[in-house]
Amino acid sequence: MLRQRALDKIVPGIRSKEGQYLWYKGWLENYEAEANLIRLAKAKAYVLRNSTPVIDEGELIVGKPCYRELSPAEEEEWNSLKDLVGKALPRTGGQASHMAIDYEKLLSIGIVGIQEEIQNYRSKLELHKPEDMEKEIFYKACLEALEGLLAYSENYANYVRKLAEACDDPKRKAELLEISRICMKVPKYPADTFYEALQSIHFVTFSLEGLYQLGRPDRYLIDYYRRDIESGILTKEFAQELIDCLCILFNEYVPRGLAVGFMVGGTDARGRDVTNELTYHFIESIGHTRMIYPGIGLCYNKNTPRDILIRSCQLLGEGLSHPALFNDDTIVKGLRHYGLPPEEACQYVHSTCVEITPVASSAVWVASPYINLVKILLELMEIESEDGDCPEFDGMDGLKKAYRNALVEKIRVEVQNQNLLQMERYHYGGDPLVSCFVNDCLAKGKDVDQGGARYNWIMPSFVGLANLVDSFMAIDELIFKRGRITLCEFAQILKYDYQGYEDLRMEILNRLPKYGNDEDIVDGLVGEVTAWILEEVGKYTTYRGDRFIPSLFCWIMHEQMGSVTPASPDGRKKGFPLGDGSGPAQGREKKGPTASILSSTKWDHYPFIGGIAVNMKFGSKWLKGDALDKVLDMIETFMERGGFELQINVVNRETLLEAQKKPEAYKDLVVRIGGYSDYFVHLSPAMQEEIILRTEHEI
């Protein structure tokens, strides 16, 4: 019932209209606040104090937006406030959320413990010092926001208690009374039970508003689970039910087309596998809920129990899109490469799709921005030039040199843009509530937007890698080696989308070497391009004084960027999506999954902590029986070769085509896109076609 209700609901946005209305009111009503940060905190607290509690039939974990219709008077006021506040608010671009807060701290000391910590810091301030005056403003803002959160939880407790008093069903009445008791206790106080811990982490995460991940719940919840099981107050079956209810709730407040979730498995600071009972419970929830959220990642290491990898593949074989398989060894190596100590390097999360951020300590901006690698090449070829000029290059080496110079300039411009956004956020932004749960904001007395977090990376993502290297191959073969056409002639062919040159396009697609087929000549180009990206991105520092770190995934940007990109030398037509990650472009790996994996792992993945996505599609019969063992061997080979992340889609072409014809019959058909999952029937026609064209491998 819970699943069907969430499936039928279209979530309009992270913040409901009621939430927007309350925030505008709260911001205007607190115009006399002594500082911008306190005004923002008071506005947030106003939203939390006045939001309408919502709990539907059967729910055991509570906390979600109220999507009620505003009254006519409220609607009129909302429209005027939206216009007024929109003009008054300074621009604060850039990014927020995409990380996991410090859940261990929340569960162990509760909000009251955090309030005490803040008061302790305040007691040591010397307010005649300018730097301490700023800290005092920050601490006051944090306390304001926390009081709003406590009021919201108490409102829920009182609302649920009233529902219980009016309930005639003894079983549901008991459930509601227990929920009320728990909401009165957490997140205000430390959690003592597994149920309390689940409610606490969900309630705070939901209240933060945004794409906040749950981090590594099988680690920080395991002690609660084991104590409750041992004492007899919790059964494995009820624990699974609570986890399933928690997972369904993501779909009640996160809009479709985004990504949110958590990770399980992995290793500790000493490299020991940490798989436990809850790891299995969370993996099983995938099959129970069968929805796009949460995106669950299994962190694979050489000591990951084979049975949980088998179960993960069985779930993927059922047509589900989770879990994504992450290489713990590669990611930990990457984080250690960028300076994290062992105890932090093992605590990471895929911040939405595949972007890696440190748990509890992150103000990292992921995918900021997306950079179209193919567009840079087309601009270099001047295919849209109106003056008829034709660029000249000294062979393929000359073209690559020119491309690299253009890439260098593109990165420089985008770095400057991102730092300008961080500067704006420093002066006009702020999120005191989030800052209460992020190391080292309270210790420094600084908000996340002012550099309080321990890690402040910016991670640009480069889209169209496979298209670029395949384009390089086509240019080299057709122009510089064979002399079939000139670069100027090729530019004109691309300008007019291969009209009249379909034979040439077919030759490019079917006869020239392509990334993904274990051919060193083209795979080596990927190593060259990724080395350029690493070297150039690594030169820069963020406005907050931290690193720029690259990524190679696309979310939905391969479609969006492809839609505005002219035809490219690799045979791709105008408007078609670019490659969906850092693996081969759609349908171009012709020699099977092993060759595809070998190509995809000939270059170092570990420095690309911003995220790498390699997609593979299999027909449903290939993750069953004897074929399953071969798939497991393939996965382990990918991991042993240093692959970052592997996404497996198991769905037949026939099923996808049928879903296009009868979307109403396939409402819950989930597919993996470019780091996230979505319902196939809700994708654009271009994205559906892109999914269908991906190579369906056989074992």
Helix H, strand E, coil C: the string for 372-437 is: EHHHHHHHHHCCCCCCCCCCCCCHHHHHHHHHHHHHHHHHHHHHHHHHHHHHHHHHHCCCHHHHCC
pLDDT, one tens digit per residue, over 392-402 is 899 999 999 99
Per-residue model confidence (pLDDT) at position 629: 86
Residue at token pair 């690493």: 534
Q: Where are the domains of the chain?
A: 1-210, 233-354+613-699, 365-578
Per-residue model confidence (pLDDT) at position 621: 63
* 3 state SS of 371: strand
Per mean pLDDT, which range of 127-131, 577-581, 600-604 is the poorest? 577-581
How many Cβ atoms from other residues are within 10 Å of residue 628's Cβ? Answer: 16
Per-residue model confidence (pLDDT) at position 362: 98
pLDDT, one tens digit per residue, over 326-348 is 999 999 999 999 999 999 999 99
* 3 state SS of 53: coil
**Predicted confidence (pLDDT) at residue 385 exceeds the cutoff of 70:** no
Mean pLDDT, the chain, as a whole number? 94
Average pLDDT of the segment spanning 219-229: 98
Two tokens, residue 502? 């379909």
Candidates 183, 226, 213; CA nearest to 55 is 183
Per-residue model confidence (pLDDT) at position 676: 76
Cα–Cα distance for residue pair 482/467, rounded to 1 Å: 21
Answer yes or no: are the C-beta atoms of 228 and 197 closer than 8 Å: no
Average pLDDT of the segment spanning 421-449: 97
Candidates 276, 274, 265; CA nearest to 300 is 265
357: enclosing H helix or E strand: strand 356-358
Per-residue model confidence (pLDDT) at position 14: 82
Contacts of 482 (CB under 8 A, 6+ apart): none
Average pLDDT of the segment spanning 40-47: 98
DSSP string, 74-142: HHHHHHHHHHHHHHHSPP--S----B---HHHHHHHHHHHHHHHHHHHHHT--TTSHHHHHHHHHHHHH
Peptide bond into 323 cis (omega under 30): yes
How many Cβ atoms from other residues are within 10 Å of residue 258's Cβ? Answer: 19
* 3 state SS of 341: coil
Per-residue model confidence (pLDDT) at position 384: 66
Per-residue model confidence (pLDDT) at position 555: 85
**Predicted confidence (pLDDT) at residue 21 exceeds the cutoff of 80:** yes
Terminal-to-terminal C-alpha distance of the chain = 38
Average pLDDT of the segment spanning 474-493: 95
pLDDT, one tens digit per residue, over 578-599 is 998 898 998 898 898 899 999 9
Distances (CA, A) of 680 to 509, 559, 684, 688: 26, 14, 9, 7
The band of 531, judged by pLDDT with boundaries at 50, 70 and 90, is: very high
Which amino acid is it at 223? D
Average pLDDT of the segment spanning 635-643: 96
Average pLDDT of the segment spanning 614-643: 83
Average pLDDT of the segment spanning 484-511: 96
Per-residue model confidence (pLDDT) at position 586: 86
Two tokens, residue 658? 């049928």
Two tokens, residue 697? 């491998």
* Exposure of 457 in the CB half-sphere (CA atoms within 13 A): 30
Per-residue model confidence (pLDDT) at position 386: 63
Per-residue model confidence (pLDDT) at position 699: 60
Cα–Cα distance for residue pair 496/130, rounded to 1 Å: 62
Per-residue model confidence (pLDDT) at position 86: 84
Question: How much of the chain is helix, strand and coil, in % rounded to 5?
Answer: 55, 10, 35
252: enclosing H helix or E strand: helix 236-253
**Predicted confidence (pLDDT) at residue 440 exceeds the cutoff of 70:** yes
Of the chain, the percentage scoring pLDDT greater than 70 comes to 97
**Predicted confidence (pLDDT) at residue 649 exceeds the cutoff of 90:** no
- Annotate 112-150 with b (16+ C-beta within 10 A) or e (fewer): eebbebbeebbeebeeeeeeeebbbbbbbbbbbbbbbbb
User: How does DSSP classify residue 676?
Assistant: S
For residue 649, what are the β-bridge partners?
A: 617
pLDDT, one tens digit per residue, over 665-692 is 888 888 877 677 888 888 888 888 888 8
Cα–Cα distance for residue pair 219/228, rounded to 1 Å: 15
pLDDT, one tens digit per residue, over 160-176 is 999 999 999 999 999 99
Of the chain, the percentage scoring pLDDT greater than 90 comes to 81
Average pLDDT of the segment spanning 643-666: 87
Candidates 237, 152, 239; CA nearest to 197 is 239
**Predicted confidence (pLDDT) at residue 697 exceeds the cutoff of 70:** no
Which amino acid is it at 165? E
**Predicted confidence (pLDDT) at residue 368 exceeds the cutoff of 90:** yes
**Predicted confidence (pLDDT) at residue 471 exceeds the cutoff of 80:** yes
Cα–Cα distance for residue pair 636/484, rounded to 1 Å: 43
- 288 compared with 352, residue with greater pLDDT: 288
